[in-house]
Amino acid sequence: MQGQNLKALVERHRFAFAIAVVILITFLMTAISMSLYVSSGASRLDLSRPGFEQARKDIIPTPDDKFSAEGKVDAATVDEFEKLYQKQRVYLNNLGDFEDSSLDDASLRLTPAAQ
């Protein structure tokens, strides 16, 4: 009797029940993703979070690693891009296989530049 009443209630309010289930699944998936975000350590690398304004200001970009997205595309521009691309590719290839040292601050370039 109780099961039939519950089934009738769900059938009568099918749309509201579906919305409630979707919201419940959304909260569950968000909780799982946030727990993975914190437990994996990715939250410590995320400088876009509030409270890291000073850390973002302390980042000193190296001017030779910049490539302008504006301007005309000609052979010299393509050569310049290829040169910068190859430089970064060599740097990444020198990091080697994935290991713990690949995630330290120096290899991720999170440390302030030496002055």
Helices (H), the chain: 2-12, 14-39, 42-45, 53-58, 75-94
Q: What is the mean pLDDT of each run of 10 residues along the chain (115 residues)?
A: 82 92 97 91 75 73 67 87 87 71 72 60
Q: What angle do CA 23, 49, 34 make, to 5 degrees?
A: 35
**90 to 39, 44, 49, 84, 95: CA distances (angstroms):** 31, 27, 31, 10, 9
pTM for the model stands at 0.42
Choose among 44, 48, 87: nearest CA to 64. Answer: 87
Rounded distance between C-alpha atoms, residue 77 and residue 1, angstroms: 77
Q: What six digits make up the tokens of 64?
A: 């030779």
CA dihedral 63, 68, 71, 77 (to 10 degrees): 80
Q: Looking at residue 3, what is its pLDDT?
A: 74
Domain limits of the chain? Answer: 1-46, 60-115
Place of tokens 């910049």: 66
Q: Looking at residue 76, what is its pLDDT?
A: 87
Q: Looking at residue 96, what is its pLDDT?
A: 66
